[in-house]
Amino acid sequence: MGVCGSLFQPWKCLVVVSLRLLFLVPTGVPVRSGDATFPKAMDNVTVRQGESATLRCTIDNRVTRVAWLNRSTILYAGNDKWCLDPRVVLLSNTQTQYSIEIQNVDVYDEGPYTCSVQTDNHPKTSRVHLIVQVSPKIVEISSDISINEGNNISLTCIATGRPEPTVTWRHISPKAVGFVSEDEYLEIQGITREQSGDYECSASNDVAAPVVRRVKVTVNYPPYISEAKGTGVPVGQKGTLQCEASAVPSAEFQWYKDDKRLVEGKKGVKVENRPFLSKLIFFNVSEHDYGNYTCVASNKLGHTNASLTLFELNEPTSSTLLQEVKTTALTPWKGPGAVSEVNNSTSRRAGCIWLLPLLVLHLLLKF
């Protein structure tokens, strides 16, 4: 209900009566096409919310009375304003044109408006539809989410606008995957670590540029040691053992030598930790440093370990003093003298499957 209707309830009857008296009986029947007689209103008017709409009616000098109506409410009759809505103003009332303007148009202004005239004592009307468009707007969107791998997620993006906007979801980073849903809802069952990253909801209609919002999806998973490097170093040289693990949240690392934990700050040894990497650095390797070391990577979802060996290298000559032996998790036995195993405490079943080949390998190597 606009100002006209709500403020002038008692007027309603009066308005209709006045209309009858005046001449104006809106028939709601649009002018027949091809009918050259007046009034001739413009085609439908489309404006965006907040803009002004001009309603124009072309007339001629045979016209004796004119009015613009919103449904059955008179807005203007001649130069007289009949409605209280300050947004409605008279633009022109000449012998050829009768126009009003509706300022700051809102969605409830949408609908039929009628130009009504009296020509040669015959009332005639012409109807124009005011269509109000609204830019898309995202009114509700899921918050950033942190979830453990394997769980289900459901993201929501609710948008408003006129016409009704199209809503889509895209997976945009770490690498752009493209559309994952052409809908307000995005459901992912059994989410994987590859599905983590930024998701973008886009709402578009042809009124304005699409609006986008992002949701960050963090997928947590237990550590996985991807690389553990054993090293051969001569006595008196610098040696480094390196352990790489991916995990979300980032893994914390601990080093053990023969089941004894190495405490940080031990003389001549330094541990360097980064989110996905830990280095055990020996500044001046001595005989008793050689042996088997275990790197343990852990986060709140689990832990895993890998063992690697610092072994003696007998030719302390050339510039390349370090001989690094690369091993990866899935190829545990590689290279002379280097021992590397990856134990996966998060997967007991997988551990048992690995146990057999490992035992066989142990046996084989003993001969």
Ligand X SMILES: *[C@@H]1O[C@H](CO)[C@@H](O)[C@H](O)[C@H]1NC(C)=O
Q: Which residues in this chain contact ligand X in the complex, by CB under 6 A? A: 1-2, 4-5, 43-44, 70-71, 75, 83, 85, 88, 102, 108-109, 129, 151-152, 189, 224, 236, 256, 284, 291-292, 294, 296, 305, 307, 309, 329, 339, 341-347, 350-351, 355
Which three-class secondary structure state does DSSP give residue 350?
helix
- Give dist(CA 183, CA 156) in Å, integer: 9
Q: Closest approach of Cβ 68 to ligand X, in Å?
A: 9
- What's the distance, CA 329 to chain centroid? 36
Helix (H) or strand (E) holding 198: strand 197-205
Which residue, 202 or 222, has its beta carbon nearer to ligand X? 222
Nearest to 298, CA basis, from 356, 254, 244: 254
Q: Closest approach of Cβ 354 to ligand X, in Å?
A: 7
Structure tokens belonging to residue 168: 């889509």
**DSSP single-letter state for residue 194:** G
Q: Closest approach of Cβ 135 to ligand X, in Å?
A: 20
Nearest to 45, CA basis, from 1, 90, 3, 100: 100
Which residue, 202 or 340, has its beta carbon nearer to ligand X? 340
Which residue, 273 or 345, has its beta carbon nearer to ligand X? 345
Identify the bridge partners of residue 363 per DSSP, sorted by sequence position: none
Which three-class secondary structure state does DSSP give residue 363?
helix
Q: Where are the alpha helices (DSSP H) in the chain?
A: 3-7, 11-22, 348-366
Using Cβ positions, the residue closest to ligand X within the complex turns out to be: 2
Q: Closest approach of Cβ 366 to ligand X, in Å?
A: 9
Which residue, 123 or 234, has its beta carbon nearer to ligand X? 234
Q: Closest approach of Cβ 327 to ligand X, in Å?
A: 12
Amino acid at 337: G
Which residue, 85 or 184, has its beta carbon nearer to ligand X? 85
Which three-class secondary structure state does DSSP give residue 39?
coil
Q: Closest approach of Cβ 91 to ligand X, in Å?
A: 14
Q: Closest approach of Cβ 232 to ligand X, in Å?
A: 13
Contact between 39 and 26 (Cβ < 8 Å):
no
Q: Closest approach of Cβ 236 to ligand X, in Å?
A: 5
- Give dist(CA 224, CA 35) in Å, integer: 81
Which three-class secondary structure state does DSSP give residue 355?
helix
- What are residue 149's phi and psi, to 5 degrees? -55, 140
Which residue, 169 or 290, has its beta carbon nearer to ligand X? 290
Which residue, 7 or 355, has its beta carbon nearer to ligand X? 355
Q: Closest approach of Cβ 179 to ligand X, in Å?
A: 22
If 0-12 CB within 10 Å is exposed, 13-18 middle and 19+ buried, where does residue 18 land?
middle
Which residue, 157 or 308, has its beta carbon nearer to ligand X? 308
Q: How many residues does the chain have?
A: 367
Which residue, 138 or 245, has its beta carbon nearer to ligand X? 245
Structure tokens belonging to residue 289: 């440093």
